Copies of this chain bind each other. A is one copy, B any other.
């Protein structure tokens, strides 16, 4: 299968590596408005660099595209790629504005079956194992889900300013994880605080957040976020059910522990940030996408999942502003 990549930035390079490393995929094009960025990525994997979207979409040998460009370009590229008959793997979020997302969805209609949204954490081995074991009934009926998700360090002010806010930019992964494990969400409560960096508050954003969800099946979910964590990338999940509990603990770089006069069983800091902790998920995500396209299956998570996570982030934002429980749209 031949793929084209839109976006030659950090996350674009991650996808380029995944495509190049996949036994049944080939990176045909790298498309970026910045020629140098496109060229650097393309050269590494023997692909063709371009800034011309139409040229890429007109290439009938290209089966699928990966959209890893800046967020505001997602909707346009996704729509055009779908119209051009390509399967699409689009980085999250589809857009920060749910109105634009809904308009896009109306536009592509049932072709959403060919769109996958890049919630890569669903492909983490530990999270997926928890989900699968929960769905297999190992802990009975799931009643409570605890998600702890803290980034090692806050992004710079310019990123924060355009990010859509902590709930849409960061918690959205956790909101999708809640849906992945619990299914549909019907109620959202949220609150936030400014504890980490003044410039985040100056951007009108929070740096610490708590979201409480209720699922359609009645389970309660609690998400804790922080933009800064001194001991690594804090990424945990705990499912509590009528018959037991499953926990995903943080992951360590090695299995070495130290004991000495002032401490015992001390491990090193946790795996740092997403390329280290979640690196393998990008390969698994691409493999799922490639396999689904090959088989004509609907890839998951799909457009509807991307839309739903954004609606939950919007609801969290509204709940924080109003101090009220909100039903997601």
Residues of A within 8 A of B (CB): 125-126, 129-130, 133, 138-139, 141, 143-144, 146, 148, 150, 187, 189, 191, 193-196, 208-210, 212, 214, 218-220, 222, 224, 226, 228-232, 234, 240, 242-270, 323-325
Contact = CB atoms under 8 A, between A and B. Distances in A.
B261 A257 contact: no
Contact of A193 (B143, B231, B264, B269): B143
A266 B269 contact: no
Interface centre among A138, A265, A268 (most CB of B within 10 A): A265
Contact of A259 (B242, B245, B255): B245
B222 A224 contact: yes
A255 B247 CA distance: 8
B254 A125 contact: yes
A19 to B, nearest CB: 16
B261 A264 contact: no
A209 B270 CA distance: 31
Contacts of A248: 254-256
26 contacts: A125-B253, A126-B255, A143-B193, A143-B196, A191-B214, A195-B242, A209-B220, A224-B240, A226-B240, A229-B240, A243-B261, A245-B258, A245-B260, A246-B256, A246-B259, A247-B256, A247-B258, A247-B259, A249-B255, A249-B256, A263-B263, A264-B269, A265-B267, A266-B266, A323-B324, A324-B324
A220 B191 contact: yes
A218 B195 contact: yes
Contact of A262 (B224, B269, B324): B269
A259 B253 CA distance: 15
A126 B263 CA distance: 15
A314 B154 CA distance: 36
A262 B325 CA distance: 38
Nearest to A247: B257
Given A245-B258, A256-B246, A193 B208 contact: no
B210 A222 contact: yes
Contact of A130 (B187, B240, B246, B256): B256
B260 A139 contact: yes
B232 A220 contact: no
B260 A263 contact: no
A254 B126 contact: yes
Interface centre among A210, A248, A268 (most CB of B within 10 A): A210
Nearest to A128: B254
Contact of A195 (B126, B129, B219, B261): B219
A191 B126 CA distance: 29
Given A143-B193, A214-B193, A219-B195, A255 B261 contact: no
